[in-house]
Amino acid sequence: MKELVSIITPSYNSEEFIEETIDCVLNQTYENWEWLITDDLSRDNTVAIVQRYRDPRIKLQVLEQNGGAGNARNKSLERAQGRYIAFLDSDDLWQPEYLESMVNYMEEYKAELVYCNYSRCDEHTMQPLLKDFQADKIVTFSNLLKTCRLAPVSTMYDTKRTGKFFFPVKSKREDHVMWLNLLKEIPRGYPLQKTLAKYRMRENSVSRKKKNIIRDQYLVYKDFMGFSTAKSLYYTANWALNGFLKYSKIFN
């Protein structure tokens, strides 16, 4: 019997893209999954679109008040029953073999965490804007401090070996904090060098506004990791440099 995968998705005003995202999950070659979509009180037709799908594996929860993506992911995590946790935002996409490839790789190498390559695409055409992000390094707590190589769309972990890890709701860099907390508990995460996911690069994406989030990144180290001011500044500088290099073609 194949292990159950829990797919974690926050949604908010996603009507433009969520049908395409739903279709990519329904087309997965790995079929033993549950999809926990938590809607963060959308003001558009997102909820109605999701409700049109009658697949019992799709489990929608609508929150009574808006709490942000981290909180919505946590609500899905609380309900998750699967051994493997996968993340898919409501505007991103997977190749049909994503779940099968990730699970097979984790089982073959007995890995607690795996991440893969992903395409970085225009939000409307889904044509690549940059070269694919390469999963080319083993990730550890130490090297994840300097740059966050893990994206929700391309990362999976094994709760049987790690337990569940939740997102800090008071951080605007909640993904990075969660991955760091996870990597504190395991020795490493492994790269699967296949492009299996597509990340939609939105014009209004917080992660694209590097100058506006340097303070938030500093707080990752100062508040959430408990580092000294000097150590926090050191890692913030490294993160900023690596972030510039990661998206340098956009800024040129």
How many CB atoms sit inside 10 A of residue 199's CB? 24
How many CB atoms sit inside 10 A of residue 187's CB? 9
Nearest to 115 by CA among 97, 128, 98: 98
- In sequence order, which residues have a C-beta less than 8 Å from that of residue 42 and are 6 or more positions away? 11, 12, 13, 14, 15
pLDDT tens, position by position, 171-222: 999 999 999 999 999 999 999 999 999 999 987 654 445 567 899 999 999 9
The least confident of 7-16, 22-31, 87-96, 200-209 is: 200-209
pLDDT tens, position by position, 222-235: 999 999 999 999 99
Predicted pLDDT at 138: 98
Average model confidence (pLDDT) across the chain: 94
Would you give the distance in Å from CA 144 to the centre of its chain?
15
pTM: 0.93
pLDDT tens, position by position, 32-77: 999 999 999 999 999 999 999 999 999 999 999 999 999 999 999 9
